[in-house]
Amino acid sequence: MKKRKIFVYSFVALIAVGIGLYITGVGGRLLMSGINAIAGPPGDFDPDNVITPTPDYSLIENWAAHPETIDPADLSPEGIIVPVQGELPIDVFFVHPTGYLTPISWISPMDPNSGTEENVNWVMANQASAFNGCCNVYAPRYRQANIFAYLGSEEERENILGFAYQDVKRAFEYYLNNYNSGKPFVLASHSQGTHHSMQLLSDIIDRSDIHERMVAAYLIGAVNIPLSPEWFAEMENIEPCNNASDLGCVIHWDTMPDGGSVVERPAPSVCTNPLVWSLDGEAASVEQHAGIVIPQHSYNLFFSGSEDTAQGKIFNSLAAPILGLTGAQCRDGTLFVERLEDPAFRESGFAGASYHLFDYNMFYMNIHENARFRSETFLSAQ
């Protein structure tokens, strides 16, 4: 029994390292395709076999964050005062990243009493809350794709992500028709959520008058599906942002520690430096860093077996921001920061190979302040 536990823990660690390498693109794709074949969900994805019903977005329980509920997106860092949710003139529609990391099925069953849903709450506390100073926060739960969907073939990935996207699209349309009431809005996301948000932009927002109400799109952490020049060329109205006050545009970065490798992608990607909000590649100093927020609790990283058990994590506070901790520079489409010594960042589950999980935490207060500034600029322009 002891040997079996050691094997399981070692295998989970191997998967974590492999995902870290996969994110960077350095030798990880071949490793993860092999692990996916051994440890991924059983069988091929079949949308007709998904037993979780389509979420009804008229039900408040299908929203991870909503102005009418008390949820982790309401939190603010110690010492930071934010307005009451529901009373702001601008909304944010936030699409959460992958929290489903155990190989039970290809699509999350949306079990509210699971480790996956704790991960969704982690994201609401550590990412979506960065926008509660400017905006009423709306964040749908959805039948998200399993992390293993990214580790197989591109065709398999697109099939599974395409299924999850339909929930996000339905949620966004419900939000527009029932909650937005013609208000300006911010679109924000991370990782898998960014892949869905890219599609919202191209399918719904860009070619309609909705784009005129979009303050900005903070589409962070796309990693291997780049926001490339070719992708932007297909847009009619939406371009990358290139300063702190640009409106109706897109912001993106992927964070790596100094000494790491540039993220490998099939095409170049936009890299916004969130310390100065420009694309020029110049280094920004620690004096421009408005504050990192160390996350409360860790992400549930199961990866192996049939465990998706809630760990009893309650998100009820955010630490005070730590100012001036790191500079930042975009190099070849990747944002590099100083390698941080806090255990939260050393023990990220990706063996320190990537700061993907902390794309928001690293620059929490820069995001918080910039989202408020762009919102104020938009309202003034109106």
3-state class of 21 per DSSP? helix
Q: d(Cα 70, Cα 228) in Å, to the nearest integer?
A: 37
pLDDT of residue 8: 34
Q: Is the pLDDT of residue 33 over 70?
A: no
What's the pLDDT band for 25 if we cut at 50, 70, 90?
low
pLDDT of residue 364: 98
Mean pLDDT, range 149-169, rounded to an integer: 94
The full set of domain ranges for the chain reads 2-381
Q: What does each C-alpha distance from 279 to 130, 179, 365 come to in angstroms?
A: 22, 34, 19
Closest CA to 45 of 197, 152, 140: 152
For the stretch 101-118, pLDDT in tens is 989 999 999 999 999 999
Which residues, including other chains, have CB under 8 Å from residue 50's CB and lie 6 or more apart? 105, 107, 143, 163
For the stretch 162-180, pLDDT in tens is 999 999 999 999 999 999 9
For residue 37, how many other CB atoms are within 10 A of its CB? 11
Walk across the sheet containing 334-337 and list its strands.
255-257, 334-337, 328-331
For the stretch 301-355, pLDDT in tens is 876 666 899 999 999 999 999 999 999 999 999 999 998 877 777 655 555 678 9
Tell the residue number behind the tokens 């990706």, with chain if given. Answer: 350
The one-letter code for the residue type at 279 is L
For the stretch 242-288, pLDDT in tens is 999 999 999 999 999 998 889 999 999 999 999 999 999 999 999 99
pLDDT of residue 21: 53
pLDDT of residue 31: 47
For the stretch 286-298, pLDDT in tens is 999 999 999 989 8
What's the pLDDT band for 24 if we cut at 50, 70, 90?
low
DSSP 159-202: HHHHHHHHHHHHHHHHHIIIIITT--EEEEEETHHHHHHHHHII
For the stretch 133-146, pLDDT in tens is 999 999 999 999 99
Write out the H or E segment, with its range, that includes residue 214. strand 214-220
Q: Chain-wide mean pLDDT for the chain? A: 89
DSSP 81-131: --PPTT--S-EEEEE------STT-SB----TTBHHHHHHHHHHHHTGGGG
* Residue 232 token pair: 């932007």
For the stretch 38-82, pLDDT in tens is 568 989 999 999 999 999 999 999 999 999 999 999 999 999 999
Mean pLDDT, range 356-377, rounded to an integer: 97
Q: Is the pLDDT of residue 17 over 60?
A: no
pLDDT of residue 304: 62
Write out the H or E segment, with its range, that includes residue 377. helix 364-381
Q: Is the pLDDT of residue 10 over 50?
A: no
Tell the residue number behind the tokens 């545009």, with chain if given. Answer: 249
Look up the pTM and report it: 0.92
Write out the H or E segment, with its range, that includes residue 365. helix 364-381
pLDDT of residue 345: 72
CB 199 within 8 A of CB 238: no
